[in-house]
Chain A
């Protein structure tokens, strides 16, 4: 676990062979991990919002739709084969429940729906997910074996 590459908010990283990717404290944001077991290429993107509005090309990794597609094409250009890819996702929580405002904080749910739609459209199976609920998650993803781990406040790590 010594070799960690940190993925920030609206950020994307790809590593190969060994080491792990980590992104901290996903709330309503979603972390999407994609893995190619043959080349051991592992990518992770930390998105905040579902769909990119027209014209915002400056921050592709802020949005689920553009972010995931960009990561996949980067991985393919590095030698990954699309039919080998699978995904693991985490996040999309609703951190606060405001009594008189139901719509507030529903962005997590919308993020998850869009992430799943985009992955399905790209024909990439989701092999594991830790999504929803009302707590934050730190997500790790290892290039060695495509294993994902989620750590939450006050409970043990979950491997998925």
Chain B
């Protein structure tokens, strides 16, 4: 049976999605750890089905400034993947590739912004690669784009994209830890509802 909205997901399916998220973000953490040469762990992935307004609070409030990297998914799975990086994380990355840390977002130069974009891209593509090979599907990724701005407006991009078909947003969310220190940075997968059904079917947990 096709799922028509996110609330129809059963416990088994949510569990499978959480596991998918764990595998994706685990792969992403390994990739990033190779780039920055630091030990990176991830916290357990969360699957959340939220009202639009609650989703804003989840990322730390609508007006919080973040560096958002977005990649659009197409092929067998449509959706949007977002990486929300906060200043502490950005500085960790900049230092690891021998660039100077910054005090505020507007100090980020073109070069530094493109480094952050590339880090977001590495995280997102390694995450999606893991899912694609696990489910044996073909996922195409767009070129990444970056915006340094209010988290609420960045998160509203996937919401608006799917809001004709849904009144809630499903978020598969992971947090990373560096050298034992939790640096809040969210990796968020927002699949569209048809692709979600397809993915669940491929993984053998479609509803009978």
Contact = CB atoms under 8 A, between A and B. Distances in A.
Q: Chain A interface mostly helix, strand, loop or mixed? A: loop
B152 A25 contact: yes
Interface stretch (B12-20, B31-39, B124-132, B155-163): B155-163
In order of increasing CB-CB distance, the 3 nearest A-B pairs are: A25-B152, A27-B153, A136-B153
Contacts of B70: 96, 98
Contacts of A137: 153
A153 interface: yes
A107 B56 CA distance: 20
Given A27-B156, A28-B160, A48-B160, A153 B149 contact: yes
Contacts, number: 102
B176 to A, nearest CB: 22
Interface of A: 8-11, 24-29, 48-49, 53, 58-59, 62, 93, 95-101, 104-105, 107, 134-138, 153-154
Contact of A153 (B61, B150, B156, B164): B150
Given A25-B62, A104-B72, A93 B163 contact: no
A101 B152 contact: no
Q: Chain B interface mostly helix, strand, loop or mixed? A: mixed
Given A29-B160, A153-B149, A9 B52 contact: yes
A96 B158 CA distance: 11
Interface string B82-116: 00000000000000000000000110000000000
Contacts of B164: 49, 53
A101 B142 contact: yes
A62 B153 contact: no
Interface in B135-184: 142-143, 145-154, 156-157, 159-161, 163-164, 167
A46 to B, nearest CB: 10
A93 B152 CA distance: 13
B145 A24 contact: no
A8 B160 contact: no
Contacts of A98: 70, 72, 142-143, 145
22 contacts: A8-B53, A9-B159, A24-B61, A24-B150, A25-B63, A25-B150, A25-B151, A25-B153, A48-B163, A49-B163, A95-B156, A95-B157, A96-B157, A98-B72, A98-B143, A99-B142, A101-B142, A104-B142, A136-B150, A136-B153, A136-B154, A137-B153
